[in-house]
Structure 1
Amino acid sequence: MHAGRKYSLSEFIVWTRRDIYWLIGLAAIPTVLYQVLGWKWLAIPWVPIAMIGTAAAFIVGFKNNATYGRLWEARQIYGGIVNLSRTWGIMVKDFVRNTNGSTSPQDLQSIHQQLILRHIAWLTALRFQLREERTWENTHQIYNEEYQRFYKIPEKESSLAEELKPLLWVQESEYVLSKKNRAVHLISLQSKQLGELVDEGLLTDLRHVEMAQMLKDLYDQQGKCERIKNFPYPRQFASINLFFIRLFVMLVPFGLLQEFAKLGGHFVWLTIPFSVLVSWVFNSMERVGESTENPFEGGPNDVPITSMSRGIEIDLREMLDQPEIPSALQPVNNILM
């Protein structure tokens, strides 16, 4: 997530500079052929190009609106995880109680810590799963890879095994890492322990039902995240958007040749900068929509799930009154992961 006031124009130009290079070439070639070699037949009426541009603008607007919807839904889902996590911490502290006097305060504190740290492990496993690459995602595109020099994706800098080590017992960590969907099995372990706490008399049946419902709600939120992660913006719409934009930017110079030639003299050379400008606007809108398609992949415009997970971890550890609390993540070059 970009945490500054706005992107600067220079950042946008650097991000799209490779597109600008080929846009200059697309504009320069027909202009040179028209003016230097006298190929006047290259000029075509502006009306059909404008009609294609209208269709391109419509489909770009449709895509950007839809991809923004995906981004906003993802932010709402993870906001729900934040609220549920805080509620889970309260339930663990207040519902799991030594009502029969059979457990020492130290052991009860250990149970609280285990339930809360396992939840932090679930958050960790979930964000690692959401950062896994899919074939349709865009972080591997060269213009996005270059921009990654301004920030780092934490899940690409460390391993899940290392992150889980201080949160789980060795046996639990090995069990979870042996599974494909690690987050699912972490909640399963939570449910298993709740049942054991009922048998030990540390959790009443009514409170057990409430906490089990909380686990169900966490499963629901995870499923919603997985739905966005594993179902891309429909490829037919993404493809036709790209085809329309490229067709339009290829035709723009041919339509502007005649318009600037009417001004006489050397004004026809203005075809190059104005073609690049018009094409850059449309192409950049397409790029923005593309960068918003997948809100969990780790781009600079994605939902900052790493930072939000750290915020949850801080809240939960403070509920445990732990002396060492990790610090909140700060933006790097205005990018918050």
Structure 2
Amino acid sequence: MCREASGVSDHPSTQDVGVALEGVLAGSGCVRFNEGGTEVRVGWLYAGGDGLVVTARVDEGVVGQTRFWCDARQWADWLGDRLPVPSWDALPPDWQASAASLTFATEGVDTEGEDDPQREAMTGRAWDTEKRAAATHRECPDAQAAPAAPTSWPQVTTMTREPVETTWRIGIVLQREARRLALMHLDGVTSWLTDRCQHALPSDTPLDPSGLPTRRCILAAGWGELPASLCDRLRGGGAVLLDVAADVASGEYWLLDGTRGIAMRDGQPSGRHVAMPDIATSDAGDGAAPCTRLVAVIAERALSIPSLAAWHLGRATSHEHAPQSVLSAAHVALWRDGTPWVNGRLLRFGDGRLAVQIDPVP
């Protein structure tokens, strides 16, 4: 049987992207905040191919690692006002670490290693050790005695030229005046970013010009579970009682996103959420009779991931609504274990229960 709750269950994401990041983008095209003198926007980006994989450490009390991918040409342009370089490949090996450390550098924020003799030589500026020491002492007289506070902004440790698959990923766009750098998140710690996103300004405008990624979802009147042997004996004219049913009389239906279900009415969540556990199969091995799940499917729709994330949290969305009226007729498709099986007609009983009567085979 399915578990129904009034709140939100802790379900895994149906995508292999950062689940925590998906949550902070719920209902938004992107979010925006400032880090030092740099504007940071976080959202979905569609990119990939040959480029640079950026590995950075993040110190949040416990040091973690995070990885991003960026376009090599855009990375060189991003550094143009601080360190003019034709390309990553053109850098002498001794200069690569210093150049890489500028990737996440933000004006007004100290970045570990941002000023060092090697970079000063690369940019033609003089290294003034005494001036730096005097400034540090003015800001923190006990700086030598007290350890530096950990920072939760990434510090790049390595960069390598690597190709990645072109697909949708959550990423960040750094912008400083006319220069911008898009970085797609690959893996690693994200709390440093989710913490900032929770206090960021949301926007309905997608970060990527092509829009937002979508997932294909099922709009259903309900579903039920039967022993597989009984399902095999069903014929035209037979009926299946649905264990979980929408209040179709009020226009409600179930939006099924993988194994997660959201009751929808007027294009927004109506307050009910379910999780559909795995059902016993023929190789269950515990002596239980194998079962099959039958879903009364009204339609399929591709819906944006940020909207789905918001609906799973029970939030209404302003920029996108789910279909408002989907049951235009009593006919539905009965899916068996995720595959279209037979067509049928929806039957509604006086107590609100639903059943599907299978159409006769011509």
What interval of TM-score do these two structures reach, taking the shorter chain for normalisation? Answer: under 0.3
Whose strand proportion is higher, 1 or 2?
A: 2
Instruction: Report the TM-score when normalising by structure 1.
Output: 0.20
Q: Taking CA–CA contacts closer than 8 Å with sequence separation of 6 or more, which of the two structures ends up with the larger relative contact order? A: 1
